[in-house]
Amino acid sequence: MKQDIHPKYQTVQVTCMTCGTQFETRSTRKELRVDVCSKCHPFYSGEQRLMDTAGQVDRFMKRLQTTQTKQSEAARKTTPAQPPKKSLYQEVFGEEKSAQ
């Protein structure tokens, strides 16, 4: 190995920022902090839970809300409140109370 170009490979403490689990591994970094580990990841814990570290669910819900608002506004514009259309019979003979 060439001298003085390799980072120091040492034992480090890994800390999970979600559940606080700590364990040791080896790395060139001094300290490792992880968002999720095998103790708390849904895949290993069997728990039905959404991992949303990047805020993707929030972004999706925001987009959905915007779209739904736009759609309801468009629906209001295209269908102005108008009375139900009369049938030809009603137009010719006028309104009649159905005698059934």
Question: In the bound complex, what is the minimum distance in angstroms from residue 30's beta carbon to Zn ion?
Answer: 20
Considering the complex, what minimum distance in angstroms separates the CB of residue 82 from Zn ion?
A: 59
Which tokens is 34 given? 């992880």
| Spatial distance between the Cα atoms of 22 and 15, rounded to a whole number of angstroms | 5
Pairing of strands 22-27, 10-16: antiparallel
Task: Report whether 31 contacts 13 (CB < 8 A).
Answer: yes
Residues that bind Zn ion (CB under 5 A): 16, 18-19, 21, 37, 39-40
Q: How far is the CB of 15 from Zn ion (least distance, A)?
A: 9
Q: Which is nearer to Zn ion, 19 or 61 (CB)?
A: 19
Residue appearing with tokens 């915007």: 66
Cβ-based nearer residue to Zn ion, 53 or 78: 53
